[in-house]
Amino acid sequence: MISANELRAGVTFELDGEAYVVIQFTHIKPGKGSPFVRLKMKNLMTGNVIEQTFRPEEKVKSAYLEHKKMQYLYEADGVYTFMDSQTYEQVALTKADLGDSVSYLLENIVVDVVYFQDKPVSVELPTFIEATITHTEPGIKGDTATGANKTAEIETGYSLMVPLFVNEGDKIRIDTRSGEYLERVK
């Protein structure tokens, strides 16, 4: 059991038989009355984000999540298929299950599929991915002193801002936590 005071961003817990992950944690100490904890949390089963308040001494059950390394295979009709490399077991997740992770799913990428009560609920991506630029406008020669950026699209269809010197066909490294360009890969 975890007290509400011990909950922080990224902690998973169980409430009413559902698994939640804390997105934002605020400890509020009003002038009158007793302090309380306000959580913004995401339901891992449905993907809904809710806010709820707890008294600091309230306890919640720690959620047991199982992580399995799986390889992303393909997408068909909004269903994304992953395969366990050891057992060849395949798992299908929808876009609602994956959320923003869809933007970074390159074929054959290895991810952690998160299970709660033997049901896949989400995917944890590697921190960085390397992707190829499929479309971007050419940079203007001599316009490099300003540190300007331009829009580029990678092979998954995700658009991001890149420096002017990046061209179509270049391989770049992207931070999957923020979705930002990090560097060009040689």
Question: Who contacts 65 (Cβ-Cβ below 8 Å, separation ≥6)?
Answer: 12, 19, 44, 114, 115, 116
- The band of 170, judged by pLDDT with boundaries at 50, 70 and 90, is very high
Give burial (CB, 10 Å; 0-12/13-18/19+) of 40: middle
Residue 146: strand, helix, or coil:
coil
**Which CATH architecture fits 65-124?**
Beta Barrel (2.40)
**Which pLDDT score is estimated for 85?**
87
Indicate if the pLDDT at residue 146 is higher than 70: no
- The band of 10, judged by pLDDT with boundaries at 50, 70 and 90, is confident
**Which CATH architecture fits 2-62?**
Roll (2.30)
**H helices, E strands: number in the chain:** 1, 16
Indicate if the pLDDT at residue 138 is higher than 90: no
In the chain, residues under CATH classification 2.40.50.140 are: 65-124, 128-185
Fold observed for domain 128-185: OB fold (Dihydrolipoamide Acetyltransferase, E2P) (2.40.50)
Alpha-carbon Rg for the chain in angstroms? 21
Q: Each residue of 99-137: pLDDT tens digit? A: 788 899 998 999 999 888 888 888 889 999 999 999 998
Question: Who contacts 83 (Cβ-Cβ below 8 Å, separation ≥6)?
Answer: 70, 71, 73, 89, 90, 91
In angstroms, the CA 122 to CA 112 distance is 9
Q: Beta strand pairing status for 79-83 and 90-94?
A: antiparallel
β-partners of residue 138 are none
In the chain, residues under CATH classification 2.30.30.30 are: 2-62
Q: Each residue of 39-97: pLDDT tens digit? A: 999 888 777 889 999 988 889 898 888 999 999 999 999 899 999 989 999 999 888 78
